[in-house]
Amino acid sequence: MITAHGDNPVVIRAPKVTVGHFPHIAVRPVGPTMRPPTSPRAIGAAVSPMTTQGPHPASGSVPGHPIAPATPQPASHPPKLLDRLAEALRARHYSRRTEQAYRHWVKRFIFFHNVRHPAEMAEPEINAFLTHLAVKENVSASTQTQALCALLFLYRHIVGYEIGNIGEVIRARKPTRLPVVMTREEAKAILTGLSGDRWLMASLMYGAGLRLMECLRVRVQDIDFSRNEILVRDGKGAKDRITVLPESLKTPLRDHLRIVKTIHEKDVADGWGRVQMPMALDRKYPNAPTDWRWQWVFPQRHRWINPTTKEQGRHHVDESLVQKAVRDAVTRAGLTKRATCHTFRHSFATHLREGGYDIRTVQELLGHSDVKTTMIYTHVLNRGPAGVRSPVDSL
């Protein structure tokens, strides 16, 4: 409540209340240790004009009636550190896999230093953690680098501190590895052990050089049968590229899409059939989620429920199902190599180089930014041990 008579001081008895006779005046809170404002400038700072249309909605008072105190608002808690980290990563369009990895390393870092807040730590603690990973846990060089990137992102974008020289960190050695490559006969044996859509997915990974998730995320509109092309959208590093559509897979792929379209039309008729859209396209194009062109080429057998909208649709096949099918096929084929879904991609690039295709063509099909990454497949052009006759063979 305010009383102002001439030069008398302003008396503040309740924080931010509405005066009955002056509904357009409200009082700002003043701390208990502060002196009441006496100058006109101070009084103007303590009193602020509100709306002049009727009584304050919080008070419900009318002229001549006592003042009703405003309803107290619950105190809002600031978001947690890991939640802020996730928001910052999503705002910069990092992948969900990167978000999961960064959250993991930040938690490891905090618990390594006995649950200290990162704002209380800096370069020495980062050094100790990275050294521990290399010396005690024997992690690979790429794992240690990933942990470092997670901590640099945390301090730069969340803590607001730019990390300087972290000192002499014992780095894990980066070994020189060669990719596991299958022969054409071995690839054929594995594909023979698969059937249905699992065979079609493995054939696309081998025939087009697709990564596993790139294969699963192909949509109907990304396949161009007339130009024998597959458009890979939002691949590794958020890059698009075009790769080849094998001629031998066009007929089975068309047959597969006819079955998928029949299922999609039935879902739409039942009131479902909505697919998850990239970014916010479902708000810009409300009818796009049910459009046939946006559907996954390899949808799940069962519908899923969107936790936000409660709408049902079909997501793409889970990657673990394809990985298990390929692993079982490798076992049945009797291969002793550690062949996985990614081995099809290595074999695709190697067999193209063996077929005489230049390194730049292979680089574009694989989507490598640097040709040095593609150069790892040039080892197949050198005969190496295969061109050497061992002395024991001449005995």
Q: Verify whether residue 315 is a known catalytic residue.
A: no
Answer yes or no: are the C-beta atoms of 116 and 155 closer than 8 Å.
Answer: no
Structure tokens at 164: 């300087």
Closest of 208, 247, 240, 256 to residue 226, by C-alpha: 247
Radius of gyration of the chain from Cα atoms? 32
Which positions ≥6 away from 384 have C-beta within 8 Å?
none
User: Which residue is catalytic, options 84, 107, 236, 241?
Assistant: 236
Residue 18 DSSP class: B
Q: Verify whether residue 345 is a known catalytic residue.
A: yes
Answer yes or no: are the C-beta atoms of 356 and 380 closer than 8 Å.
Answer: no
Rounded to whole angstroms, the Cα distance separating 323 from 109 reads: 31
Q: Verify whether residue 258 is a known catalytic residue.
A: no
User: Which residue is catalytic, options 56, 103, 198, 211?
Assistant: 211
Q: Verify whether residue 211 is a known catalytic residue.
A: yes
Q: Verify whether residue 353 is a known catalytic residue.
A: no
Q: Verify whether residue 236 is a known catalytic residue.
A: yes
Structure tokens at 316: 């793409």
Rounded to whole angstroms, the Cα distance separating 129 from 107 reads: 12
Tokens 């295709």 locate to 357
Q: 391 vs 34, 342, 362, 388, 395, CA distance in Å?
A: 97, 36, 37, 9, 7
User: Which residue is catalytic, options 264, 345, 351, 353?
Assistant: 345
Catalytic residues: 211, 236, 342, 345, 368, 377
